[in-house]
Structure 1
Amino acid sequence: MAARLASDFWVRAYLKRLELADIPAYVTARGQAESGAVMVKCARLDGSAQLYERRSDLMGGGWKWMLLHDGEEAEVDASIRKQRSFDPDLWVIEIESRDGRTLLDEPGLDD
């Protein structure tokens, strides 16, 4: 089993990839540097958003990005607030992408 990267390192690398792809992104909540979980919100700039979280893939092993919520942006924000209420170590990255492009399916980010 491969070792996981520290959360802050992974976040910095992900933000750089997004920057190189001209996708605006912001850290809206900083979690624990070493092992905080990461959620990615993709605001589609039309009032809707998607929320992703990296979870253990029980069937295939390893880790996989899972879509947690897809709907009105206010509902996605409420879901994030709820998650942060019981996990203050949670990182939240917000992306602005009309077409919903997150890069999470790219090599190095999808596993």
Structure 2
Amino acid sequence: MSPRLPSHLIVSALMRRVNDAGGIAVVRARGDADSGAILLLLEREEHFLERAIGLDGRDSLARSGPRPESGESLDDYWQRRRRNDPDLWVVALDIADGQRFAAETILP
């Protein structure tokens, strides 16, 4: 199993790629620099992606977010998650096909 890149490097690379492509990437909450979980808000698609570890031990992206029946807003969702995990990074991406940018940057 290969070591994971530190969270702050992944977030920096993703933000640079999105901004260089004409989109907007903003850190809404800064987490632990080395091992913080990363939650991505894809603003145009109005859902979240989260860096996760797959069954094979490799990084993967999992869709997450509030359940539609909960009535919880996107902002309420990430703020609740952040209260429960202060090491969580929350990054908002405003670019077409944000999932592609996330996959190309996060997944090996």
Which 4+ residue blocks in structure 1 deviate beyond 3 angstroms?
none
Contact 1:43 1:50 in 2 (8 A): yes
The DSSP-based 3-state class of the residue aligned with 1:105 is helix
Q: 1:13 to 1:51 in 2, by over 3 A?
A: same
Any stretches of 5+ residues in structure 1 without a counterpart?
none
Contact 1:6 1:34 in 2 (8 A): yes
TM-score, normalising length: structure 2: 0.83
Identity %: 30
Q: 1:25 to 1:71 in 2, by over 3 A?
A: farther
Greater relative contact order (Cα 8 A, min sep 6): structure 1 or 2? 2
The DSSP-based 3-state class of the residue aligned with 2:80 is helix
Alignment of 1:1-111 (within 5 A): 1-44=1-44, 49-58=46-55, 60-69=56-65, 75-97=73-95, 99-102=96-99, 103-106=101-104, 108-111=105-108
- Paired with 1:84 and 1:25, the residues of 2 have a C-alpha distance of 18
Q: Which amino acid aligns with 2:81?
A: Q
Q: Which amino acid aligns with 1:43?
A: E
Any stretches of 5+ residues in structure 2 without a counterpart?
none
The DSSP-based 3-state class of the residue aligned with 2:14 is helix
TM-score, normalising length: structure 1: 0.81
Contact 2:59 2:106 in 1 (8 A): no
Q: 1:66 to 1:91 in 2, by over 3 A?
A: same
Once the two structures are overlaid, the 10-residue window that deviates more, 48-57 or 34-43, is 48-57
Number of aligned residue pairs: give it: 104
The DSSP-based 3-state class of the residue aligned with 1:104 is helix
**Higher helix proportion:** 2
Following superposition, the deviation at residue 21 of structure 1 comes to 1.6
Report the aligned-residue RMSD. Answer: 2.1
